[in-house]
Each structure stands twice: as C-alpha cells, then as structure tokens.
Amino acid sequence: METPNLSYITSMSGGNLEFENKIITIIKEEFPTEKEEFFNNLNKYNFKLAAGNVHKLKHKISILGLEKSYGIAVAFENNLLEGNSDLSKEFESILNTITNYLKQL
C-alpha cells in the first residue's frame, strides 16, 4: 500500500508554509465529511451519488501523492456509474490509510 505524502503540496507551495498549512487544514476539514457521505450513499446503494463522492475524494487522493490509489479511485468511480460496487474494499482501504495519515498531521 502506498503511503500518503505532502510532496505535491510542497511542490505547489514553493516553500510557502502558510499555503501548505491552509491546504492541509482544508483537506482535514473536508475529508471526514466527504468520506461519511460516500459510505452513506454506498450503503444505500445510491451508486451514482457514491460515484460523485469518489470523484471529490479522488482529488484529495491525488494531492496526497497516492498515484496507484488514484487509479483505483478512477476505476471505482466508473464501476459505480455502471451500478457495480467492485473495488469498494480497495477504496475503503485507501480511505482508511488517508484517515490514519491525517490524524498524524
């Protein structure tokens, strides 16, 4: 499993720590709500809404440097749009990895 990192945020910031902290704060604030909405929609079999949640979450996956996980998210989003929840366990694992990482920041 990949490890989240701040490389992309650092490269975007040009060394501006205030900018980096702002981005991290936004991710830490938005991620739990977006994750909860995703699970609510998935558990209700609202796959189209869950796909929308995955779409939002995959940007955070990318920002946190998880390239392989981003690919899984793209495939999972497409699956959900087709009414297929394959890859849900893999995506849940990605979300758990991010949750644990964000707790450490």
User: Does residue 14 surpass a pLDDT of 80?
Assistant: yes
Give the residue-averaged pLDDT of 63-86.
98
Average pLDDT over the chain, rounded to an integer? 97
The type of residue at 46 is N
The vertex-66 CA angle with 22 and 93, nearest 5°, equals: 105
Q: How many domains does the chain have?
A: 1
**CA-to-CA separations, 95 to 13, 88, 98, in angstroms, rounded:** 25, 10, 5
In a domain? residue 14 = yes
User: Does residue 1 surpass a pLDDT of 80?
Assistant: no
CA gap 71, 76 in Å, rounded? 9
In a domain? residue 70 = yes
In a domain? residue 33 = yes
Report pLDDT for 23.
97
Domain that holds residue 50: 7-104
Is 2:68 a contact under the CB 8 Å cutoff?
Answer: yes
Give the residue-averaged pLDDT of 13-39.
97
In a domain? residue 1 = no
CA gap 38, 53 in Å, rounded? 5
Q: What is the pLDDT of residues 41-54, one digit of tens each?
A: 999 999 999 999 99
In a domain? residue 38 = yes
In a domain? residue 24 = yes
